[in-house]
Chain A
Amino acid sequence: MKTPVLIAIAVVVALLAFGLYQGLVVAPTEQTMGDVQRIFYYHVPSAWTGILLFTANFFASIWYLFRRTTVSDSIAVTTAEVGLVFWTIVLITGPIWARPVWGIWWTWDARLTSTLVLWLIYVSYLIVRRFSSGGQTAVLAAALAVFGFADVPFVYLSIWYFRTQHPQPVIGGGGKLDPAMWHAVLYNWLAFIAFALVLCWFRYQLERKQRDVEETLALESLLEGSPR
């Protein structure tokens, strides 16, 4: 089992290095913002990867609600946690980008605000998973995942309109992107997806191991004859 994993890691590292090279060297410097715009090549692919993972979490939760298999529940928690890691990166690199470009760390820019709200939703999802007791965690979390995902369009819509009411400086995105720039974004996205898959694989093994421990614990308390 070990070697394929090592190969996968090697491939991911190569892809990431290639993406980094594209972002920092190959892509032309943006006229208005200069080189700081290259944060874009990490900020946007991380967001897209995060969205992919949250979508996977949604479908895994739906699958769990119908089939109640532990596999679907493990995938739901795995994709949510790894998704939240990528999403945290988006949330932190955003202000790092805003500071040099607009001189302010945080602006209620439509995208930044929506990122923050989504981040809050999935953090509360993971907290509920940790706090709910034993057998019911999966069902409660799956229901919450459906609510969270259904909320995403409302988050983006309401905050987008909220911003058009009071225009604020808008982060990047403006202006025509040079094709080489698009390449950098796409290569990095590919690299991040591969990296996310490997992370998910490891997190999944951890989940299975933790379930073994939980069950042994449950069995342990049973065998000591404590009445059910």
Chain B
Amino acid sequence: MTPTAAAVPQAAEPVPAVVLTGLTKQFGRFAALRNVSAEFAEGKLYVILGENGAGKSTMLRAIAGLLRPTNGSVSVFGAQYGGLDSGRWILGQLGYMAHPSLLYDEMSAMENLIYSARLHGIDDEARCSDAIRLVGLDPALNRPVGQYSQGMRQRTSLARALLHDPRLLLLDEPFSNVDVASARGMVQLLSHMRDAGKTIFVVTHQARLLAQAADEFVWIHSGNIESRVTTLDLELVQ
């Protein structure tokens, strides 16, 4: 299945948010990503679809700089990983959320976010309470995250990813076991952020939720981009 040419009209001059060139990731002989080359413009909401093991999460982790490509390269806002300090500059620009919620169960949402802010060199605790309110939680809640419902944990994790106001958001299965109302709320929040200029990638099996909100649907099949469409063909989605 050769990747069809991107039908989406490219945004002309501004630097694309993410550029993948010949991105390959080999785990032993198994190629999780096979020579992926693509450009993603800034300020768009991309939904990444495909069956298990197609390479969705691997691609997201590669963009987040969490795994070292076997060859090819990933560049974010024009900077490339692996450069002397460019990798660190990129990390300042991106927020990542994945299945393990990257939160300490023994600490409350607020404490987790304050600590995560410190990691990004931010002392301003107002930012943390704003982020928590944004995802619909109460900053004053001091129960430890370990006692939260799965939906609340996901939203706290989303708040953690949004905290340092990243230009690029990478969300891996953000809606998994989240109630429909909360999920819809998150979708609205993401589309607001996309309107505000952020670039968002969402890997999910619940693409139906984003049918209207997303700008582009990227189908991944056995390690490469199979197709990129702007409207979701509902039959294809489970």
Which residues of A are at the interface with B, using a C-beta cutoff of 8 A? 68, 134-135, 214-216, 218-219, 222, 227-228
Cβ of A163 to closest chain B Cβ, rounded Å: 46
Report which of B29, B52, B53 forms a contact with A218, defined as CB distance below 8 A.
B29
CB distance from A73 to the nearest CB of B (A): 13
* Residues in A neighbouring B27, C-beta threshold 8 A: 135, 218
- Judged by a CB distance under 8 angstroms, whether B28 is at the interface is yes
B28 and A219 contacting across the interface, CB-CB below 8 Å: yes
A217 closest partner in B (C-beta):
B28
Say whether chain A's binding surface is mostly helix, strand, loop, or mixed.
helix
Q: Which of A68, A214, A219, A228 gathers most chain B CB within 10 Å?
A: A228
Closest to B58 in A: A228
Given contacts A227-B52, A228-B52, A228-B53, contact A219 B29 (CB under 8 A): yes
The contact sample of 19 A-B pairs, CB cut-off 8 A, is A68-B68, A134-B28, A135-B27, A135-B28, A214-B28, A215-B28, A215-B29, A215-B30, A216-B29, A218-B29, A218-B30, A219-B28, A219-B30, A222-B53, A227-B52, A227-B53, A228-B32, A228-B52, A228-B53
Closest-CB distance, B49 to chain A (whole angstroms): 16
Residues on A with C-beta less than 8 A from B28 are: 134-135, 214-215, 218-219
CA distance A215 to B32 in the complex (A): 14
Q: How far is the CB of B73 from chain A (nearest CB, A)?
A: 15
Chain A residue contacts of B30, Cβ below 8 A:
215, 218-219, 222
Contacts of B52 in A (CB 8 A): 227-228
On chain B, the residues within 8 Å of A218 by CB distance are 27-30
A57 nearest CB across to chain B (Å): 23
Contact partners of A215 in chain B: CB under 8 A: 28-30
Q: Using a Cβ–Cβ cut-off of 8 Å, how many residues does chain B contribute to the interface with A? A: 8
Contacting residues, chain A, for B68 (C-beta < 8 A): 68
Q: Which residues of B contact A (CB under 8 A)?
A: 27-30, 32, 52-53, 68
A216 to B53: give the CA distance in the assembly, Å: 17
Bound CA span A11–B230, Å: 70
Residues of B within 8 A of A222 (CB): 30, 53
Nearest 4 pairs of A and B residues by beta carbon: A228-B53, A215-B29, A215-B28, A227-B52
A214 to B27, CA, bound (A): 11
Q: Which of B28, B52, B68 has the most CB of A within 10 A?
A: B28
- Can you add 13 more A-B contacts, CB < 8 Å, to A218-B28, A222-B30? A68-B68, A135-B28, A214-B28, A215-B28, A215-B29, A215-B30, A218-B27, A218-B29, A218-B30, A219-B28, A219-B30, A227-B53, A228-B53
With a CB–CB cut-off of 8 A, which chain B residues contact A227? 52-53
B22 to chain A, nearest CB (A): 18
Residue of A nearest to B57 (CB): A228
A-side contacts of B29, CB under 8 Å: 215-216, 218-219
A85 vs B176: C-alpha distance when bound (angstroms):
53
Q: How far is the CA of A228 from the CA of B57 in the complex (A)?
A: 10
Q: Which residue of B lies closest to A228 (CB)?
A: B53
Q: Across the interface, which residues of B come within 8 angstroms of A135, CB to CB? A: 27-28
Chain B residue with minimal CB distance to A68?
B68
Q: For residue B56, which residue of chain A has the nearest CB? A: A228
| A212 to B, closest residue via Cβ | B29
Considering only CB atoms, which chain A residue lies closest to B32 in the complex? Answer: A228
Complex-state Cα separation, A218 to B52, whole angstroms: 16
A134 partner residues in chain B, CB cutoff 8 A: 28
B70 (CB) vs chain A CBs: closest residue: A68
CA distance A134 to B27 in the complex (A): 9
CB distance from B32 to the nearest CB of A (A): 7
Contacts of B53 in A (CB 8 A): 222, 227-228
